[in-house]
């Protein structure tokens, strides 16, 4: 499914800060920032990612904070008329 189709289905850009414990270094926490189109409030994409990550890599998730945007729509994205390149 394309990003536009997901957007029309109610998916929005979600950002999650995931604090986790590595299997090789117990009691040492690390952080990863995850961004993806997902559907609030159940977040199926994030939950699927977390399940696979914990199962495959043996990571122990300590906490997850999620922010989701509802204020930007497809029409807002189409009307953008400026492009900025920063290097």
Secondary structure in 3-state letters for 5-34: HHHHCCCEEEEEEEEEECCCCCCCEEEEEE
pLDDT single digits (tens) 59-70: 899 999 998 776
- Looking at the structure of the chain, the number of domains it has is 1
Quote the domain boundaries for residue 47: 3-78
**pTM, to two decimals:** 0.73
Tell whether 58 is covered by a domain: yes
pLDDT at residue 51 in the model: 94
pLDDT at residue 75 in the model: 63
pLDDT at residue 26 in the model: 82
Residues of the chain where predicted confidence (pLDDT) is lower than 50: none
Tell whether 33 is covered by a domain: yes
């Amino acid at each position: 499914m394309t990003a536009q189709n997901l957007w029309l289905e109610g998916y929005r850009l979600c950002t999650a800060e995931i604090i986790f414990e590595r299997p090789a270094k117990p009691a040492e926490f690390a952080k990863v920032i995850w961004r993806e189109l997902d559907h609030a409030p159940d977040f199926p994409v994030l939950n699927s990612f977390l399940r696979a990550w914990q199962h495959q890599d043996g990571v122990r998730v300590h906490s997850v904070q999620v922010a989701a945007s509802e204020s930007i729509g497809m029409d807002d994205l189409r009307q953008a008329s400026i492009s900025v390149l920063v290097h």
